[in-house]
Structure formats: C-alpha cells, structure tokens
Structure 1
Amino acid sequence: MKVLYTAEATVHGGREGEARSSDGNLTVKLSPPTEIDGSGEGTNPEQLFAVGYAACFQSALLRVAQREQVDASQSTITSRVGIGPNGQGGFGLEVELRVSLTGVEAATGEKLLELAHQVCPYSNATRSNIPVKLTLEEQRL
C-alpha cells in the first residue's frame, strides 16, 4: 500500500485524559461515558471512532454514487459504536451504520451501501474483526 496521508495524535491519561492531533486541529478532553462508570464530561474513543467511520463511509458512498450516476448529496450517516465485554476477559466493539438516502430507491440504496462498504477504509479495517451492520433507513422519494 502506498500511504497518502498519516494522521498522528498523542494521548495523555488514557480514557480520562486528553488527546491532541500533531497538527493542532483536534484537542479533546477524554472521559469514559457514565454507562461504564465514567463522568461523561468529555468525549470517548467510541464517539471518535463513530465520527471517523461515519465521515469515511459517507465519502465512500458519495464516490460510488457518483460512479453509478446517482445523486447521494442529501445522504446522512448515523454511526453507532457499541462497546462491551467480549467474553474472553477483554472488550469488543460493534458498529451500526444507519444510512439515509433521500430520493434514492431502496434497491439502488442497498447496492450503494454494499459498494461503499467495499471502498471505505474503515470498513476494510473492521471486516472480519468486528460486526458491522449496514441499515438503509426508510426512503422518502
């Protein structure tokens, strides 16, 4: 693989610390959510993963839609990242991507989701590692 860009971030304090990107464009206070005994006063890695996956998946969706000559410009992606015990003493993740494709027929939307899932780097990184559910929300034509 020819690397085109490398993101770099530094974290101090783990889940109860702070994260900064090397370019200074991102600085966030980290805190576990209240559901896993945290204060919930900052963001958490699952939220950051959800944002990254949703943004990346939508870019992939827009790319494949353009290739298929479908207008997906009004699409939205809602990413849900769950965390819980994996039954082996550690924790695991699961993802659901809820996709709204206003004005796109359901069959075409399903095809676009599958194509985007093959293109998206996050989908490629998670494939066979964590469950990812793609949900096409009810369409308004």
Structure 2
Amino acid sequence: MAKHSFLLTADWNGGRNSVGTIDAGNLKTKVSIPPEMDGPGVGTNPDEMLLGAAGTCYIITLAAMLERASISVSSLTLESEGIVEVVSGIITYKEIIHRPNIRLTNEAHEKKALILAEKAEKNCMISRALAGNVEIKLETFIQTDE
C-alpha cells in the first residue's frame, strides 16, 4: 500500500478579516474570507480551494478514464460551481455542480463518454472525500467534430 503526504503551511496574523498566506508546494497564495461573506476578498479562500480541488480531481480522473477507454477527445473543458448556504449564521458548503464539456472526434463514443463522465465523479478521490457532506451533481455536454 502506497501512502502520499502533502504539506500545507499557513500564516495568519490578526482576526477574522485579516489576510494570511498558504504554501503547499506549487500552491502559494494569499488567503482571506471572500467579500460574499463580508471579508476582504484578498487572494483565494477555502470555498474556491475546495471547488478547485473537486474540479481538478474530476477533470483529471475523467481524462484518464477517456484515455484508458481509447476515446479520442479533441477538447475537454469543465465549469464547476460551488453553492454555499448561510442559515442563521451557519455556513454550509451544500453542493458542487460539474459541467464537463467533452468534444469527441467520433460520435460512436458518445454513450461511453457519458457513462465515463458519471463514473469519473464517483471515482475521484475528492468526490469520495466529500461524499455524505457535499452533494455533487453533473451536467454533462457532449459534442462531436463530425
């Protein structure tokens, strides 16, 4: 069994509306509370980073599955939307909607590509980590060059 360790260091000087920094190898940035939640909106924030983790994990998993299935793709793009709900001062990350756009070189692979789009969401390690806490939905769009 292989294990991988990832390290993040954070520096935060001040109260709620301060600005901090994080360093996680290739991810080095300022962080703060977003303006939508009455923060300063400097750098990124936990909501964007969770959405980024879910989106990048999903698209990488999907690309790998399409490649293993020998499905030729001329382009693969993704739009992901995170929905955060605030009720009585309690903030909850409710759902993530992934909207993959798969452009195939051959229309014969449309059905299989749709199946793999759904399978990729279930196999992505971030999706599995969020299971039971954040609902993840798919709105897949497939087109062909033909």
Partners of 1:138 and 1:121 lie apart in 2 by 24
Number of aligned residue pairs: give it. Answer: 137
1:40 deviates by 1.6
* Superimposed CA distance per residue, residues 48-83 of structure 1 (whole angstroms, 9 cap, x where no aligned partner): 122222211111101211232212362112222222
Partner of 1:70: 71
Q: Is the 8 A contact 1:46 1:82 kept in 2?
A: no
Q: Is the 8 A contact 1:109 1:136 kept in 2?
A: no
Report the structure number with the largest CA radius of gyration.
2
RMSD of Structure 2 on Structure 1 (CA) = 2.4
* Superimposed CA distance per residue, residues 74-130 of structure 1 (whole angstroms, 9 cap, x where no aligned partner): 211222222222x58632212111101012755333211111122210111112221
Runs of 4+ in 1 over 6 A off after TM superposition: none
Identity of aligned residues (%): 26
1:33 deviates by 1.7
Partners of 1:118 and 1:26 lie apart in 2 by 26
Partners of 2:88 and 2:37 lie apart in 1 by 18
Matches within 5 A, 1:115-130: 115-130=119-134
Q: TM-score, normalised by structure 2?
A: 0.79
Q: TM-score, normalised by structure 1?
A: 0.81
Matches within 5 A, 1:1-141: 2-13=1-12, 16-21=19-24, 23=25, 25-72=26-73, 74-85=75-86, 87=87, 90-93=90-93, 94-103=95-104, 106-137=110-141, 139-141=143-145
SS of 2:43's partner is coil
Runs of 5+ unmatched residues, structure 1: none
